[in-house]
Amino acid sequence: MKTLIVYYSLNGNCDYVARRLAEQISADLEALRPEEEPPKSGGMMYAKGGWSALTHRTPKLAALSRDLLAYDTVIIGAPVWAGTYPPAVGSFLKQTVFKAPHLYLFACSSSGNSEKMLKQLGKKVGTVSASASFKDPLKHQDQENAAIDAFAQTILKDGSIKL
Ligand SMILES: Cc1cc2nc3c(=O)[nH]c(=O)nc-3n(C[C@H](O)[C@H](O)[C@H](O)COP(=O)(O)O)c2cc1C
């Protein structure tokens, strides 16, 4: 029984969630590394990043270090960009066949509203056991840590992971 968290993070929020979850559910981590990214701050971050997401760019990704087929539980994490998932995640979805019996999703956004993106991701990956949404967790750790821990418990209670 092995668990993998695959995620993209430009500014550390999804990375924070992935690492906190991984500690609690004993998961391996795989960060997506695209060859093109917007700047990490400023207006151009939103302009370039938003445009790249809305036009569904699929940049080349650095080779993954894990073989997804070796995992029975896969958790995918992404920030919301212009209401949708970022290009790195689009590239990952395009190159991956999802066979893990247990799939989970999480999203980070600044509004806390990630429903549209989670629905879009769900359509791409197949049956999702559960999903969770976090509001800029690096900024709101007091509130979001508890939500991350609750998501870890949900995953553990599903019984697909033996610690
Ligand atoms: C290009 C870009 C577009 C964004 N668009 C949205 C959005 O449509 N809705 C929202 O709530 N947050 C939006 N955000 C904020 C991020 O989703 C949010 O800060 C998230 O926590 C960042 O995760 P990360 O630090 O792992 O990259 C956007 C951020 C970027 C960089």
Give the position, in ligand 1's atom list, of the atom nearest the Cα of 82.
Answer: 8
Residue 95 CB partners (closer than 8 Å, separation 6+): 61
- If you measure from the C-alpha of residue 144 to the centroid of ligand 1, how many angstroms do you get, rounded to a whole number? 16
Residue ID of nearest Cα to ligand 1 atom 17: 109
141, 112 in Cβ contact below 8 A? no
H, E, C per residue of 62-108: CCCCCCHHHCCEEEEEEECECCECCHHHHHHHHHCCCCCCEEEEEEE
pLDDT digits over 97-150, tens only? 988 889 999 999 999 899 999 999 999 999 999 999 999 999 999 999 999 999
Share of residues in the chain with pLDDT > 90 (%): 92
Q: Which atom of ligand 1 is nearest to the CA of 16?
A: 26
What is the model's pLDDT at position 22?
Answer: 98
What integer pLDDT is reported at residue 159 of this predicted model?
A: 72
pLDDT in tens, 65-110: 999 999 999 999 999 999 999 999 999 999 999 888 899 999 999 9
How much is the mean pLDDT over the chain?
96
Answer whether residue 161 shows pLDDT above 90. no
Token duo for residue 123 = 């359509």
Distance 118 CA to ligand 1 centre (A): 14
Predicted TM-score (pTM) of this structure: 0.97
The residues near 163 (Cβ < 8 Å, ≥ 6 apart) are 25, 26, 156
Largest CA distance in the chain: 45
CATH number of 3-157: 3.40.50.360
Cβ(41) – ligand 1 distance below 6 Å: no
Of residues 35 and 161, more confidently modeled? 35
